[in-house]
Amino acid sequence: MTFHQPQKLKTIADLIGAKFIGSEDFEVLGTNEIHRVKHGEIVFVNHPKYYDKALHSAATIILIDKEVDCPEGKALLVSDDPFRDFNKINTHFTRIYNFTEELHDVEIGEGTHIHRSAVIGNNVKIGKNTLIFPNVVIGDRSVIGDNVVIQSNTVLGGDAFYYRKVNGNFDRLISVGNVVIENNVEIGNGCTIDRGVTDSTIIGEGSVLDNQIQIGHDTVIGKKCLIASQVGIAGCCIIGDEVTLWGQVGIASGNKIDSGSVLLGKTGVNRDLEKGTYIGMFAEDFKTYLKKEVKLRNLK
């Protein structure tokens, strides 16, 4: 999430009641998660296991639960609960409507048709010659390109599935990101595409999605991908260009699929995959799988 205008380190520290380490005039441009964070942004960390990763990430401000040595050129915000305070910063600078107020600041391009039963949130942009079917829900801050088709009962911009457990209850990390649908994308019936926590969930230009597909927060789908029914992609995945995912493929959080790859039906992904064709619960190379099957069948 990028602030509408740059903030000062002391301003953010005062907002959340945290100690700061660094110049009080240190510039803060926004917030982000570790996998998408950029220079000038805040990233939070609340476990020693991830301190080093956060401190040496692209982030220049680290919201952390313990005072540690601060890398040169960076600043710290020391909080007793970084998760809570990350939410506090995000919701201070991005208002959460959740369809409780009438829409405003919606831009709709020439030639676009939106069925009267569709529900559109606030600060939404929709391009030219786009077709939106009955009962589609488009969440706040969504950006939809030209020549897009979104079929019935699809939901764009639902909350990210991102929780921690505190005192036996689940505590949500509030999503202030959005969904971006690029030009010439087609999305089938009953799909759900979650908005990013602090950044964008992106469907690349020319990609086609079948019915009943789930795409998690902050995932980036490349250009001209083909995704069949009942595929489930967790958050923070990177899918390259011209990737084909056949029915019931499942991809765990944070994995990357190289451009041009093909994942056959029911393939499971728990690691990054180089370009190739894969099958099976643990994404086995298809040619290797076939050779193994031949050997097994020839056993006597």
Residues tagged active-site? 217
Say if residues 29 and 49 touch (Cβ distance below 8 Å). Answer: no
Nearest to 265 by CA among 246, 252, 243: 246
Backbone torsions φ then ψ of 298, nearest 5 degrees: -90, -5
Question: The tokens of 157 are what?
Answer: 């911009």
- Cα–chain-centroid distance for residue 246? 21
Nearest to 220 by CA among 50, 52, 33, 55: 33
Give the chain's end-to-end CA distance (angstroms, integer).
61
Say if residues 162 and 197 touch (Cβ distance below 8 Å). Answer: yes
The pairing of strands 155-158 and 192-194 is parallel
**How many angstroms separate the CA atoms of 50 and 63, rounded?**
12
